[in-house]
Amino acid sequence: MSAPRVRFIGSRELHRDLPKVLENLEDPSARCVLTIHNRPKAVMIGAEAFLSLLRGASPEDRLLALQLSALVQGHEPAAVADSENEDEALLEV
C-alpha cells in the first residue's frame, strides 16, 4: 500500500473547490487536512478510506495521526522510535 496523499487545504479553498476536493477523496489513499488560519481543524477522507479505518488503521494512517497530533499541539512532527510509543500517542489524539 502506498503512503496516503496528504493535502492541506484552507477553508476558503475548500469552499471554492469543494467538488474537486470530493472527487480527489475518491482515491482511498487521499487525505485532506482542513485548516483555518494555518491551524489544522479537521481531516477529510473518502468513504472507502473511512471503512478501511474502521477495520484497522494502517501504519501510514498511524503516522499521519502522530504528525497531525504534533501540529495540533503546536510542535514539530517527530519520528517515533517504536510502535508502543505510536499507540500511546494515538490515544492522546
- Res. 34 pLDDT band, cuts 50 70 90: very high
Domain that holds residue 31: 5-92
Q: Residue 83 belongs to a domain with what CATH number? A: 3.40.1620.10
Q: How far apart are CA 57 and CA 60, in angstroms?
A: 8
pLDDT at residue 89 greater than cutoff 50: no
Q: Is the full-model pTM beyond 0.85?
A: no
Range in 15-24, 43-52, 58-67, 73-82 with the lowest mean pLDDT: 73-82
Q: Nearest CA to 89 among 71, 76, 70? A: 70
Residue in this structure with the C-alpha cell 494555518, named with its chain if needed = 38
* CB-CB neighbours of 16 under 10 Å: 12
Confidence of residue 81 (pLDDT cuts 50, 70, 90): very low
The total number of structural domains in the chain stands at 1
Give the burial class of 5: count Cβ atoms within 10 A of its Cβ; 0-12 exposed, 13-18 middle, 19 or more buried.
exposed
